[in-house]
Amino acid sequence: STTGKSELSSMHTDCNLICIVGPDGTGKSTQAAYLVDTLRQDGVDCEYKWLRFNHLLSLPILIVARMLGLSEVVTLSDGKKIGYHYYWRSNLISRIYPVTMYLDTSLNYIFRVYLPIKLLKKTIICDRFVYDTIIDVMISTGRSDPDNWMFSKLFTSIIPKRCMGILLTADEDTLRQRRNDVLLDKNLRDKIELYDKLGPKYRLFRVDASLPIPEVSRII
């Protein structure tokens, strides 16, 4: 907790954009919704935004990749689905996809986050943000080192300076016990490792999501 306080004290505490990020199963949606309710009770004009899978310009790439066998969707016994991308198998797709995702993410940020903050003076609580998109794209294109990934600076240029990033994380065994789709996600370990690398790099405030939900909410 001493480390957490030190990290938090070094961040902007007057920010109007708070994003809660992390691997699947860490309770991001629960904590984001709770934070919105808490801030509204304190008189803060805030909104909840879910920012993942923003496909517009990238949609044709997804279609072509599916036709080429570079992706698949696995349906689980409970009806939930897990999508896998194998874009690293195509040099062209692995280079075009990050660019189109950057453009889609930028447009989504401008219209759903930047304009409400600028014009309506709202505080925005994001359930997932650019950090999650970076990891999704890296997993899709077979990248494991954010420092040597050519698109890292492109994506992080979207993130405003006055943004507080909260990283919810837990060990692999804990997360796999929480949801069936997380239990069977063959990319979970790689995702956790990428979040562990991105957390310190972008000074995200790390919270142990294996703690009870009320305790995680109290820390946030």
Q: What is the pLDDT of residues 144-198, one digit of tens each?
A: 998 889 999 999 999 998 899 999 999 999 999 999 999 999 999 999 999 999 9
CA-closest candidate to residue 16, choices 131, 106, 108, 119: 119
What is the residue-averaged pLDDT of the chain? 91
- Measured between alpha carbons, how far is 72 from 83 in angstroms, rounded to an integer? 6
171 phi, psi to nearest 5 deg: -75, 160
For residue 200, the Cα-to-chain-centroid distance in whole angstroms is 15
Are the CB atoms for 198 and 49 separated by under 8 Å?
A: no
- List the structure tokens of 11: 């961040």
Q: What is the pLDDT of residues 46-64, one digit of tens each?
A: 999 998 878 999 999 999 9
Can you give the pTM of this predicted structure? Answer: 0.89
Give 167's strand partners: 21, 206
Are the CB atoms for 189 and 172 separated by under 8 Å?
A: yes
The strand pair at 81-85 and 71-75 is best described as antiparallel
Are the CB atoms for 65 and 140 separated by under 8 Å?
A: no
- Measured between alpha carbons, how far is 195 from 1 in angstroms, rounded to an integer? 19
- DSSP, collapsed to helix, strand or coil, labels residue 18 as strand
Element (H, E) at 115: helix 115-120
Query: What was the pLDDT predicted at 14?
Result: 59
Q: What is the pLDDT of residues 16-33, one digit of tens each?
A: 999 999 999 999 999 999
